[in-house]
Amino acid sequence: MVSRLGEVITISGKTVVVRGEKITPRHMGKVVIDKQMNEIGRIVDIFGPVDSPYAKVMLFPKAMNFCGTVLYVR
């Protein structure tokens, strides 16, 4: 099952910060994909306010540039 994770806020090296909408602790370790179903990375941390959390995603080696796009979690 695929669900919307949120919008990319920043990319720094091999780390991406995504502003989430409904991110919960159960998302830890899940694979993140783009709208073409390309695997982007894996969620390694969730932080920030409970009602509007952020997810830290470690990129896979062949991830493309996708700043400002919406990502999904599988």
Max Cα separation, the chain? 32
Domain spans, the chain: 3-73
pLDDT band of 69, cuts 50, 70, 90: confident
CATH architecture of 3-73: Beta Barrel (2.40)
How many whole angstroms separate alpha carbon 67 and alpha carbon 53? 18
Strand-pairing partners, residue 45, are 56
Give the model's pLDDT for residue 56.
96
Three-state DSSP state, 1 = coil
Backbone angles phi, psi at 25, to 5 degrees: -60, -25
Contacts (Cβ under 8 Å, ≥6 apart) of 13: none
DSSP state of 29: T
- For residue range 7-58, what is the model confidence (pLDDT) as tens digits? 999 888 899 999 987 888 889 999 999 888 889 999 999 999 988 899 999 9
* DSSP at 26: G
pLDDT at 64 over 80: no
pLDDT bucket at 72, cuts 50 / 70 / 90: confident
Q: Give the per-residue pLDDT at 38.
A: 87
